[in-house]
């Protein structure tokens, strides 16, 4: 008996029986009903001619939300690749490292009433990109991309928009402080937060939990350097009613539990000691990045008292952050363990 080659499709000798009418393409795309019906409720519910004629799936008038023209052939073909990847080893979906480029495919999958498996495959493809980025538009003149992992962005009149890499501590210009930047500087935080809001809403609506988690962590990290934060001036717009209503339940539960277990009602301040300085260690990448130190390093810093807040100041390098201090409650490891146990019961029964 001849063995089927690993690279050979299980459907290589089966005639396609679905013809897909697509905007801007004179000839239909062809597919197999037995494949698409597993992944798309729309296809599964299409009438099947009794005479053996192909099933017709007309998406030529299907318009993505927020767009003015229907989905193009490239998007529909990418959707077919996504479905066929499970039965044809030669077909794979390739996603861009800019998350916005995947938006049409996600929206088409949603419009096709796709199986959760489709969104899980897309989510894995996106999260496999180490340099996954979010594109931001500020009016018609300014556009830039924000890396969603391992970066703290900050913005000043003198420096422009800068990203600080939490791994290698390099600081690189995203937008230089030229005249165009100065003209749009006040609008940049709202533009960034609007882009985050749109993607958090879409990720929550489609059930891509880990994409939503990544976006939330990015937004939270950008609040570290609050005085020059990229997001703080408009952060409230990220958590819109539609974002909260569509937020995956496990993320809402996790946020509630973490507050209950780690946000203690024991606020305290630090006063300047007799020596004038305190010794601190940098136990997180974000803290090490802001103060430009190595992870787990230690140093002596001054404490400045400003109104009701204590400010930890690195006089040598000019960096300062507020100290938000509470005492009591479980340690981080214990809190995480409790949260994981409760979430397992709440989400998975």
Domains of the chain: which residue ranges? 18-95, 133-247, 248-264+328-349, 267-326
Looking at residue 99, its pLDDT comes to 97
- Residue 261's H or E segment, with its range, is helix 249-262
Q: Are 114 and 40 in contact (CB under 8 A)?
A: yes
Residue 110 has pLDDT above 90, yes or no: yes
Looking at residue 306, its pLDDT comes to 66
CA 36 to chain centre: 28
pTM: 0.88
Task: Tell me the per-residue pLDDT of 64-103, one tens digit each, with 9 for 90 and over.
Answer: 988 899 999 999 999 999 999 888 878 888 899 999 999 9
Task: Tell me the per-residue pLDDT of 210-234, one tens digit each, with 9 for 90 and over.
Answer: 999 999 999 999 998 888 899 999 9
What number of residues does the chain have? 349
**Mean per-residue pLDDT, 235-252:** 93
Q: Which of the four pLDDT bands, split at 50, 70 and 90, describes residue 10?
A: low
Q: Parallel, antiparallel, or unpaired for β 171-175 and 298-306?
A: unpaired
Residue 246 has pLDDT above 90, yes or no: yes
| Token pair of 161 as six digits | 């928009």
Residue 133 to residue 147: CA distance in whole angstroms: 4
CA distances 115 to 84, 119, 142, 239, 250, Å, are 14, 7, 37, 27, 20
Residue 264 has pLDDT above 90, yes or no: no
Task: Tell me the per-residue pLDDT of 306-328, one tens digit each, with 9 for 90 and over.
Answer: 666 778 888 777 777 778 777 78
Most confident of 82-86, 123-127, 167-171, 290-294: 123-127
| Token pair of 286 as six digits | 């974000």
Q: Give the DSSP per-residue string, 195-210.
A: HHHHHHHHHHHHT-HH
Task: Tell me the per-residue pLDDT of 12-64, one tens digit each, with 9 for 90 and over.
Answer: 677 888 999 999 999 999 999 999 999 999 999 999 998 888 999 999 999 99
Looking at residue 8, its pLDDT comes to 58
Looking at residue 1, its pLDDT comes to 45
């Amino acid at each position: 008996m001849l063995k089927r080659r690993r690279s050979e499709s299980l459907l290589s000798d089966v005639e396609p029986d679905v013809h897909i009418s697509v905007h801007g393409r004179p000839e239909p795309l062809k597919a197999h009903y037995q494949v698409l019906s597993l992944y798309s409720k729309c296809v599964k519910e299409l009438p099947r001619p009794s005479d053996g004629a192909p099933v017709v799936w007309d998406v030529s008038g299907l318009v993505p939300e927020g767009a003015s023209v229907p989905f193009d052939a490239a998007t529909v073909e990418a959707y077919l690749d996504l479905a066929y990847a499970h039965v044809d080893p030669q077909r794979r979906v390739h996603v861009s490292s800019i998350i916005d480029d995947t938006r049409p495919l996600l929206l088409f999958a949603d419009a096709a009433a796709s199986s959760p498996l489709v969104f899980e495959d897309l989510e894995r493809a996106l999260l496999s990109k180490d340099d996954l980025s979010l594109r931001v538009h500020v009016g018609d003149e300014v556009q830039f991309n924000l890396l969603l992992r391992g970066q703290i962005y900050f913005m000043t009149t003198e420096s422009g928009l800068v990203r600080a890499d939490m791994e290698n501590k390099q600081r690189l210009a995203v937008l230089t402080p030229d005249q165009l930047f100065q003209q749009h500087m006040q609008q940049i935080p709202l533009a960034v937060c609007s882009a985050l809001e749109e993607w958090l809403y879409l990720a929550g609506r489609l059930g891509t939990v880990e994409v939503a988690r990544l976006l939330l962590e990015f937004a939270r990290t950008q609040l570290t350097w609050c005085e020059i934060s990229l997001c703080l001036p408009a952060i409230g717009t990220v958590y819109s009613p539609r974002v909260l209503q569509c937020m995956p339940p496990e993320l809402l539960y996790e946020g509630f539990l973490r507050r209950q277990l780690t946000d203690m009602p024991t606020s305290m301040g630090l006063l300047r000691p007799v020596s004038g300085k305190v010794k601190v260690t940098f136990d997180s990448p974000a803290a090490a990045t802001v103060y430009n130190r190595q992870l787990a390093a230690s140093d002596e810093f001054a404490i400045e008292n400003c109104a009701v807040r204590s400010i930890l100041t690195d006089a040598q390098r000019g960096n300062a952050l507020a100290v938000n201090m509470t005492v009591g409650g479980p340690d981080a490891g214990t809190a995480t363990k409790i949260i994981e146990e409760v979430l397992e019961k709440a989400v998975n029964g």
